[in-house]
């Protein structure tokens, strides 16, 4: 008996997913737990395995289609088995039922409840030519759709697509990917619900850059290592907030902003406070590579208690970073540039980090944020290997 695989809830608050690639074609056999399809969810590509062995009888959509949790994603059955979605039953005027089963009108799955009069061979032709039968007026007896009707509809669509686009100062639209829609939704929620306040400070980068040059380690590892003792001193910044309760974390789960071709991703370094510098560097390297390869698991993209963004890696400077929803703060470090500073009571030229700290003003006051930033600056400026 055919098994209907419904799109499962495979992420926190997931309501939909976009089909990216079918790894098995209709009519092909598949083994139990064999990867069946790739879908794009909240910032991640996820492979969904087949729930059983058998033959793929039906797919819930082609690549690029977005379906909701609970919708039919795929149907797996036995070889030679037929499966059809149950049509919506509606009252329609009585028509003469043809005796030939090949001429029996079918209900279009594309337009539930609408009767489409077309033989299976015509329906197959329409599928091959990309024609939606629900939009075709049949010219045959009793409104039956003929081969000519389908071919004319396909030719009309092709002519429209081939016609040059008129330029009137407007631009062609583009449907955002599931990931970009998720980013937009999350950032909108953060910006509209969290009262952001940002404080800035220039920080002498000499020690941190020297450590990076001497060890060859990632700057992100050094920046995270320097903030860990500050998070322990100021636990309100290493916390989550749900609008009524502030939950301070004993562990530092630090989100690292990573720019990828598909958009911004923020994998999480868990229990960073338990790592030394080289362990931290190795974990950030692993997560960064997985983010850019789109191989991160959903568990590696959630649960952060604080976030660090090295915008200097892409040439950024001072900015107003947006706080990931549910957390209380984010620090952004820009590209170090030569600047005039006072060092040991004398004017000097040094590389200076532009550092921005955004915080949730519902749970953190400006004075506390200023002290946090001052302590972080001091930790970076006196940074030495072995910290």
Active-site positions read 361
**Which conformational region is residue 384 in: left (phi greater than 0), alpha (psi within -120 to 50 degrees), or beta?**
beta
Rg (CA), the chain: 29
Question: Does residue 254 contact residue 308 with C-beta atoms inside 8 Å?
Answer: yes
Are 224 and 272 contacting, i.e. CB atoms less than 8 angstroms apart? yes
Bridge pairing between strands 29-30 and 54-59: antiparallel
Q: How many residues does the chain have?
A: 387
The helix-helix angle for 206-215 and 219-233 (nearest 10°) equals: 130
Instruction: Note whether 297 and 291 are within 8 A (CB).
Output: no
Closest Cα to residue 123, out of 106, 140, 99, 148?
106
Distance CA 179, CA 68 (A): 15
Q: For strands 268-269 and 263-265, give the pairing.
A: unpaired
Q: 164 CB contacts (<8 Å, ≥6 apart)?
A: none
* Tokens linked to 126: 């329409």
- Helix (H, G, I), strand (E, B), or coil: what is residue 350? strand
Q: What order do you get walking across the sheet with 54-59 strand by strand?
A: 3-6, 72-77, 54-59, 29-30
Hey, which residues does 268 pair with through a beta bridge? 255
Q: Residue 385, Cβ neighbours under 10 Å: how many?
A: 12
| Cα 54 from Cα 198, distance rounded (Å) | 57
CB atoms within 10 A of CB 300: 19
Tokens of 380: 């970076």
């Amino acid at each position: 008996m055919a098994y209907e695989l419904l799109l499962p809830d495979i992420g926190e608050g997931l309501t939909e997913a976009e089909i990216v690639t079918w790894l098995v074609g209709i009519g092909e056999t598949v083994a139990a737990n064999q990867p069946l399809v790739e879908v794009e969810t909240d910032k991640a590509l996820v492979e969904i395995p087949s729930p059983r062995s058998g033959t793929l009888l039906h797919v819930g959509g082609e690549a690029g289609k977005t379906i909701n949790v609970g919708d039919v994603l795929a149907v797996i059955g036995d070889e030679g088995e037929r499966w059809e979605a149950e049509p919506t039953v509606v009252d329609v005027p009585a028509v003469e039922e043809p005796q030939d089963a090949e001429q029996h009108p079918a209900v279009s799955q594309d337009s539930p409840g609408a009767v489409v009069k077309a033989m299976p061979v015509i329906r197959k032709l329409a599928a091959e030519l990309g024609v939606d039968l629900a939009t075709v007026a049949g010219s045959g007896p009793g409104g039956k759709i003929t081969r000519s009707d389908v071919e004319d509809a396909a030719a009309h669509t092709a002519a429209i697509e081939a016609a040059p686009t008129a330029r009137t100062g407007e631009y062609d639209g583009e449907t955002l990917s599931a990931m970009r829609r998720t980013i937009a939704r999350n950032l909108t929620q953060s910006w509209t619900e969290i009262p952001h306040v940002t404080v800035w400070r220039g920080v002498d980068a000499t020690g941190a850059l020297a450590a990076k040059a001497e060890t060859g380690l990632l700057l992100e590892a050094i920046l995270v290592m320097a903030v860990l003792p500050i998070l322990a001193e100021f636990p309100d910044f290493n916390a989550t907030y749900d609008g009524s309760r502030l939950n301070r974390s004993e562990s530092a789960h630090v989100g690292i902003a990573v720019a990828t071709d598909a958009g911004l991703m923020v994998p999480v370094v868990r229990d960073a406070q338990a790592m030394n510098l080289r362990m931290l560097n190795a974990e950030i390297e692993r997560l960064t590579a997985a983010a850019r390869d789109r191989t991160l698991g959903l568990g590696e993209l959630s649960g952060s208690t604080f976030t660090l963004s090295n915008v200097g890696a892409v040439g950024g400077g001072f900015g107003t970073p947006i706080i990931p929803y549910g957390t209380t703060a984010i620090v952004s470090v820009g590209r170090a540039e030569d600047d005039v500073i006072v060092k040991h009571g004398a004017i000097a030229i040094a590389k200076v980090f532009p550092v921005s700290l955004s915080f949730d003003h519902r749970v953190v006051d400006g004075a506390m944020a200023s002290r946090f930033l001052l302590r972080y600056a001091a930790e970076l400026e006196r940074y030495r290997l072995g910290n």
